[in-house]
Amino acid sequence: MHIAVLAGDGIGQEIMVECLRVLEALSLPDLKLEHADVGGVAYHKHGHPLPPETLALVHSADAVLFGAVGDPACDNLDRHLRPEQAVLGLRKEMHTFANLRPAKAFAGLEGLSALKPEVAGAIDLLILRELTGDIYFGDKGRRTTDAGLREGYDIMSYDENEISRIAHVAFKSAQGRRKKLCSVDKANVLQTSVLWREVVNEVAADYPDVELSHMYVDNASMQLVRNPGQFDVMLTGNIFGDILSDQASMCVGSIGLLASASLGEGTKGLYEPIHGSAPDIAGQGIANPSAMILSAAMMLRHSFGMEAEALRIETAVAEVLQAGVLGHDLGGKASTTEIGDAVVARLSAS
């Protein structure tokens, strides 16, 4: 089990420490952790946010654990050198087109959600976000209009193969859950979404046991707050999935709780929290490591088929939250290390 560990920037470094302690507490027989620089840290050391040595490690490893990237000191760099380019580049390089972002209520946290407790308590959904296409990867740039005005542009595009492969993942995921799939788009305005809806409807023919619905993204955003319990699997494109998942995190209680798995055709996956490097709290030891720890659980499940070990981690995190060990993001006082300590203690007791 050879894991590339890319902690990255800001709180990425802090939460990764706790995540690795949790993995080590499982005493996995052949765990090999190998670290490499990514993001702003890599730019400052090697002149590139995703240096060749990091890519080489990623290619040789069985899976990648990724913290977060983003460094305000890099804000004015050329687009290709910005830390964020590293995570986009990695997703593309690893062909991890399917991003699983589960959002599930934690017992005891309902009152800390941005929603009414009874509404929050019903959350158990999976956002299936397409990850290697859309407006993120289309032609983009700056130019001057004929009238001499500065103009920025980003082309949004999807081809039918990109849509159908993520749709298959979504239908299969729904089959393993409550068999409901809601595809989220903006087909009343965007041509990419018209095609998206067309292709999803075609793929649906292979999955007659799954109940498919379509929803416009603006409505979906509202429905996530009004009645998130109605959703099982939400299938959507790259940009909509980015936004909806941050929103879903606050319905659960905090962005520090939501993990993700980015998968392609094989078993090699990229596992990272949905949040970023949080420069506003970096270095203070108060970041919530739960999302990072839960991402490691997703890694054990999806890359190594270790369902029992994944569940052990997930149960430990849930119990720690239920016991009231809460980070600052949830109105508590527990530090990053204290949360890590509590999860490790639960694991040792289980």
Ligand X SMILES: CC(C)[C@H](C(=O)O)[C@@H](O)C(=O)O
Ligand Y SMILES: NC(=O)c1ccc[n+]([C@@H]2O[C@H](COP(=O)([O-])OP(=O)(O)OC[C@H]3O[C@@H](n4cnc5c(N)ncnc54)[C@H](O)[C@@H]3O)[C@@H](O)[C@H]2O)c1
Active-site residue, from 136, 158, 207, 271: 136
**Is 87 near ligand X (CB under 6 A)?**
yes
Distance of CA 137 to the CA centre of its chain: 18
Phi, psi of 137 (to 5 degrees): -115, 0
Q: Which of 130, 162, 185, 329 binds ligand Y (CB under 6 A)?
A: 329
Task: Name the packing angle between helices 336-349 and 290-304 (round to 10°).
Answer: 50
CB atoms within 10 A of CB 135: 17
**Is 269 near ligand Y (CB under 6 A)?**
no
Is 75 considered catalytic here?
no
**Site track 246-275 with ligand X (rule: CB under 6 A), x = hit:** ----------------------------x-
**Is 242 near Mg ion (CB under 5 A)?**
yes
Measured distance CA(8)–CA(79) in Å, rounded: 18
Pick the piece of the chain touching Mg ion (CB under 5 A) from 80-88, 151-159, 234-242, 317-325.
234-242
**Is 76 near ligand Y (CB under 6 A)?**
no
Instruction: Output 26 or 243, the one with its CB closest to Mg ion.
Output: 243
**β-pair partners for 263:** 98
* CA-based nearest residue to 6, from 90, 105, 127: 90
Instruction: Output 84 or 309, the one with its CB closest to ligand Y.
Output: 84
Q: Is the dihedral of CA 196, 197, 198, 204 positive or negative?
A: positive
Distance of CA 305 to the CA centre of its chain: 19
Q: Which residues are known catalytic residues?
A: 136, 186, 218, 242, 246
Interacting residues with ligand Y (CB under 6 A): 11, 15, 68-70, 84, 87, 255-256, 272, 275-281, 287-288, 291, 329
Interacting residues with ligand X (CB under 6 A): 84, 87-88, 242, 274, 276
